[in-house]
Amino acid sequence: MMRYQLHIASANHTLVSIDDFQIAPQEITVLFGESGIGKTLISQAIFGLLDPFELEISINGKPYNNYVRSKEVQKLQTYGFFVFQEPSTHLNPLMTLQEQLNEGKLAKTNRQKEILQALWRQPYETHVRPLLQIYPKPFRPSGGEKQRFLLAMAFKKLMLPANGAQRLFIFDEPTGSLDNVYRDIFLNELFNLYTRNPFTILLITHDYSMISTFEKQHTALLSRIHLKELRRINGAQVRLFDFKAEDYTGWLEAQYPAPLAKKGQPRKTVLKMEPTFRVFGKTFHLTREPDRGKTVPLIIHKKELIYLKAPSGMGKTTLAKIIAGLQQAEAVHFELSGIRFDQDAEQKVWRKYVWGKKLAMVFQHADESLNLQANVRDVFKGLPGVNLQDDVSILNALQEMFDQQLEPKFLTQKVAHLSGGQKQRLNLLRALLLHPDLIILDEPLNGLDFISIRKVLDIIRRKMASGSGILLVSHNEEIFDRIVPKQCWYYLNSEE
């Protein structure tokens, strides 16, 4: 067993500390845990990627400088690979993707085309080769394409001889920019390579639905897959726990679709949107079928949960922001709680009549909705119709989202210093405390651990029962496909 005692601090402020972090050699460790709890810091420290001059780090009681220079770490970096959560962290904007795929020892692998074809499953000449001459920029290629190029580099490295050395491959959120189809393609290719010649894998993810994929598609490897969850014990102190697959699969099996309104029962419409709109020079259509089909208006009633589905990058978040008055469209028509909107509507209408009153939105990225310079207490000031008069009432509201008992000093913490999972809880709570006609949930489970996921889903159900209509955008298809009836699914398509 590869075992590590780690302590990482910055300016005498502890970022993360763990007494016993374990990775099973020659096996597959899958690490879950809320965003910002320290999974990335710990894994980068083990792989020798942190700067010993910027951070105060000790591993197994030794200074990090000594650890980084050790033969152990040099071998890990020579024969292993680290796939970064954000591909742009690794990709060089001054080199073409082709040059980066053949950089250093990667040039010795002659199976590049085979690897890329496996990861794309689309014609190589039309969908892959043109991308090879691109210098990676923030929006080109797409996030999913960048992710696959980085995975291709890892697979090329795997095909090089290891000369008997320990091979550690760390995949930090490798499917964060991929939909479920491409996620499963990646897992198939990774496990095929592992089966031929086992190596050590640390797979970091928020995607608990991978558990179902393991059990349905990779049963031969189940004895070699170790599910772990990193949980906060006290402040920056964390601990590694075993995560039982049946805790997730059993819970999922017990989920049930939200109830549909009875036929003939009067229902108040909170949103009706025409089936076609235009933004960024592209025309989009709303349908009831994934492969386009007949266009239909998007209709949401009170006490109804509507699920908007489309591949990653199609424009679901853009549509949500158009409805919320945060993105101007070139052509659009919809009615929200009796107020008509089109492409010429002025933002002051949303500000005066809609935001916080008729509509609330949970953003895909918590940083979009929170003032990072504010403290936690200030996040909840001035919410319309919400009675949080003192610290006790704010803490009671927060406690519903948190597993651990919160102390009053939590209210004074700066939002910028919170973990990603903590910020996501604030992002959710600010919207769910309101009582609008329509709540837009854009990836509401982002960055949450399993306990928090269950809590959030319970709160969503209660908001529906209290009268709000909900528009949901989420890549957590396995969960929401069970919770949302198919009659409430819509698909977003675009004209190429």
pLDDT tens digits, one per residue of 99-109: 999 999 999 98
**pLDDT 10s per residue in the chain (496 long)?**
999 999 999 887 899 999 999 999 999 999 999 888 999 999 999 999 999 889 999 999 999 999 999 999 999 999 999 999 888 778 899 999 999 999 999 999 889 999 999 998 888 998 899 999 999 886 678 778 889 999 999 999 999 988 888 899 999 999 887 888 889 999 999 999 999 999 999 999 999 999 999 999 999 999 999 999 999 998 899 999 999 999 999 999 999 888 777 777 788 999 999 999 999 999 999 999 887 789 999 999 999 999 999 887 788 999 999 999 999 999 999 999 999 999 999 989 999 999 999 999 999 888 888 999 999 999 998 888 888 878 999 999 999 888 778 889 899 999 988 888 888 989 999 999 999 999 999 999 988 899 999 999 999 999 999 999 999 999 889 999 999 999 999 999 998 6
- Angstrom distance (rounded) from CA 182 to CA 178: 6
Tell me where in the chain the CATH 3.40.50.300 domain(s) lie. 2-253, 269-494
> Can you give the pTM of this predicted structure?
0.88
Distances 425 to 54, 211, 235, 334, 356 between C-alpha atoms, Å: 29, 24, 17, 30, 18
* DSSP 8-class letter at 140: B
**CB burial of residue 228 (10 Å; 0-12, 13-18, 19+):** buried
Q: Is the dihedral of CA 408, 410, 415, 417 positive or negative?
A: positive
Residues 207 and 175: beta-carbon distance below 8 Å: yes
Give per-residue pLDDT as tens, 127-165.
899 999 999 886 678 778 889 999 999 999 999 988 888
**Regarding the domain delimited by 2-253, which CATH topology (the fold level of the hierarchy) does it fall under?**
Rossmann fold (3.40.50)
User: Would you give the end-to-end CA distance of the chain in angstroms?
Assistant: 51
Cβ-based neighbours of 374, under 8 Å, separated by 6 or more: 414, 415
Return the CATH number of the domain spanning residue range 269-494: 3.40.50.300
